[in-house]
Amino acid sequence: MSFRVPSLLLLVFGPIALLLAEPAVELGHVEGRVLSRVEGKKLERVGAAHVLVAGEALITGDASRFEIKTSGGIWRVGRRAVFVLSDNNARLLAGTALLQVPSDQVWSVTSRRSVLGVPAGTWLVQAVDNGGFKIVCIDSDQPIQAKGETSKPLDPAVQLKLRPGELVFLQPGGATFSPIVTIFLEELLATSRLVGGFPDELPGLRRIVNQAVAQRDRLKTLSNAVVVGATEAGSFQIAVPNPAEKKAEAAKPSEAKP
């Protein structure tokens, strides 16, 4: 199915979430203010069980999120996102989405400058301002795929296998990945609203939590990856706090605070 994103939708409500869906797709849980726009009609507020029509857009802002279940998988989209769905593929122009991809499938997520192939498993994918993606593996044993750009696809795609709790960036242009960074998966699971902010438990969550506990036991140090600069191809900068420096800082005498 081909589609066109109405330009007007990108100009309203500041940070938004946008959804263009196939007929008969139904919204699951909806949190916060979610507005629906069908071309030629006025905006209206919608909620759970709303049946989407072709060309319909869902617009969300702060403190909003929604879930869509399709073809055995799950999309959970958070606040301040721009998300366009067609079949099991999506454009993620801003914000973060959690994907739970069924076995033997690969879903494509496209930004302004990159195409990412997401295999079976559970993943967090965040759009980066320069047109790349930040990807966190929550649960998968299959490699992600750098597929180039829509206008310049890579054949074959570049593949990279991540373990649960590993983070990587797909750089703008969709051809290369950054170095892998390990994050604290247990903390991510405890704080992410896309994991725990819905009434229905994420399928397979108990096994995922067990993996996170095992990862915590394996890790001797803790790394937190932070993007400190991402504006163009090749310019990803990743700040990883040095555990030794953190211990030294913690050992300093504390000053009285008001």
Please give the span between the terminal C-alpha atoms of the chain, in angstroms, as a whole number: 60
Mean confidence (pLDDT) of the chain: 79
- Residue 210 confidence (pLDDT) above 80: yes
Task: Work out the pLDDT band at 65, boundaries 50, 70, 90.
Answer: very high
pLDDT given at position 55: 65
Q: Answer whether residue 255 shows pLDDT above 60.
A: no
CB-based contact 187:196 (threshold 8 Å): no
pLDDT band at 158 (very low <50, low <70, confident <90, very high): very high
pLDDT tens, 7-43?
Answer: 434 444 444 444 444 446 788 999 998 887 777 889 8
Cβ burial of 227 (10 Å; 0-12, 13-18, 19+) is middle
* Identity of residue 127: A
pLDDT at 57: 73
Residue 250, classified by CB atoms within 10 Å of its CB into exposed (0-12), middle (13-18) or buried (19+), is exposed
Q: State yes or no: pLDDT of 137 exceeds 80.
A: yes
CA-wise closest residue to 183 among 144, 143, 212: 212
Does this model's pTM top 0.85? My answer is no
pLDDT at 220: 62
The domain locations on the chain are 11-87, 95-236
